[in-house]
């Protein structure tokens, strides 16, 4: 299972939210590069970078942060937040993203995302399936749709996409454990590599996600709050 620390960016700074609520913003470090290098120095190979300013806007905002991290580390960076157009995805890849996460745009502009899959390759696009009470949420989780998460994931199978990041918004930032029942159902009812996101609070949670067969786990607040240490992640790597 891939261990994928997360860096969420607002105003160029490393922050975390609770349940996607921008009003709960907490700044953990004003230098995202410093954080990324600490991950790399502890044997981490992957990074989930989210432009939270972009997520609630109509375009990428913090692409300079992506560019700096891509140039100054060897991390495999998947980038999401604000990717809504051909210009945005070009900026993301030109700035050094290894992959992009298509979240809101995959709901609102399906034809565009399917075109990206044809042009860039399915292996370069991760499907973002963020949900609240099973319903897909968009625009930095500020809007809800009427699409069930399982139906949404299965609707994209035919496009060739092989990875999905699924976040249960009710779990995000709560440090109360991941949405194991939802992930078990996704594993049972879809044929796609599942990257679990949200709620990871301990090493036991990571071991559980390994047992569930998740292909990856995104770890955020647990690292910043000291619930999981980089030494523990290094040993697990």
Q: What is the mean pLDDT of residues 22-34?
A: 95
| Rounded percentage of the chain residues whose pLDDT exceeds 70 | 97
Main-chain phi, psi angles of 42, to 5 degrees: -105, 25
Q: Give the domain extent around 118.
A: 2-236
Task: Encode pLDDT of 123-145 as tens digits.
Answer: 999 999 999 889 998 775 566 77
Q: What is the mean pLDDT of residues 180-206?
A: 95
Enclosing H/E stretch for 173 = none
Q: How many domains does the chain have?
A: 1
The pLDDT of residue 173: 72
Nearby residues of 100 by Cβ (< 8 Å), 6 or more positions away: 78, 79, 80, 83, 89, 92, 93, 124, 125, 126
Q: What is the pTM of this model?
A: 0.93
The pLDDT of residue 140: 57
Q: For residue 214, what is the domain's CATH number?
A: 3.20.20.70
Known active-site residue 8: yes
Look-up: residue for tokens 């937040």?
81
Angle at the Cα of 13 from the Cα atoms of 18 and 203, rounded to 5 degrees: 50
Q: What is the mean pLDDT of residues 99-115?
A: 95
Q: What is the mean pLDDT of residues 156-182?
A: 90
Q: What is the mean pLDDT of residues 2-13?
A: 97
The larger pLDDT score, comparing residue 58 to residue 82, is at 82
Choose the catalytic residue: 53, 130, 168, 205.
130
The model's confidence at residue 47, banded by pLDDT at 50, 70 and 90, is very high
Q: Which of 177, 172, 164 lies closest to 208, judged by CA?
A: 177
Cβ-count burial of 23 within 10 angstroms (0-12 exposed, 13-18 middle, 19+ buried)? exposed
Choose the catalytic residue: 8, 53, 172, 205.
8
Distance CA 80, CA 54 (A): 9
Known active-site residue 88: no
The model's confidence at residue 169, banded by pLDDT at 50, 70 and 90, is confident
Distance CA 109, CA 179 (A): 27
**What is the number of other CB atoms lying within 10 angstroms of the CB of residue 46?**
18
The larger pLDDT score, comparing residue 20 to residue 34, is at 34
């Amino acid at each position: 299972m891939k261990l994928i620390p997360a860096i969420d960016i607002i105003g160029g700074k490393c922050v975390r939210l609770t349940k996607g609520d921008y009003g709960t913003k907490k700044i953990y470090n004003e230098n995202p590069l410093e954080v990324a290098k600490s991950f790399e120095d502890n044997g981490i190979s992957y990074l989930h970078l989210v432009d939270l300013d972009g997520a609630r806007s109509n375009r990428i905002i913090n692409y300079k942060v992506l560019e700096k991290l891509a140039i100054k580390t060897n991390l495999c960076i998947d980038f999401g937040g604000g990717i809504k157009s051909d210009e945005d995805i070009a900026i993301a890849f030109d700035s050094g993203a290894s992959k992009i996460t298509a979240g809101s745009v995959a709901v609102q502009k399906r034809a565009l995302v399917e075109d990206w899959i044809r042009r860039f390759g399915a292996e370069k696009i991760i499907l973002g399936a963020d949900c609240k009470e099973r319903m897909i949420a968009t625009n930095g989780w500020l809007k809800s749709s009427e699409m069930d998460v399982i139906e949404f994931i299965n609707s994209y199978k035919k496009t060739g996409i092989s990875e999905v990041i699924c976040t249960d918004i009710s779990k995000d930032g709560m440090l109360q454990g991941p949405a194991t029942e939802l992930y078990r159902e996704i594993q049972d009812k879809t044929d796609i590599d599942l990257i679990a996101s949200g709620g990871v609070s301990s090493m036991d949670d990571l071991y559980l996600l390994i047992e569930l067969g998740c292909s990856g786990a995104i770890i955020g607040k647990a690292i910043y709050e000291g619930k999981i240490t980089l030494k523990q992640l290094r040993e697990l790597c």
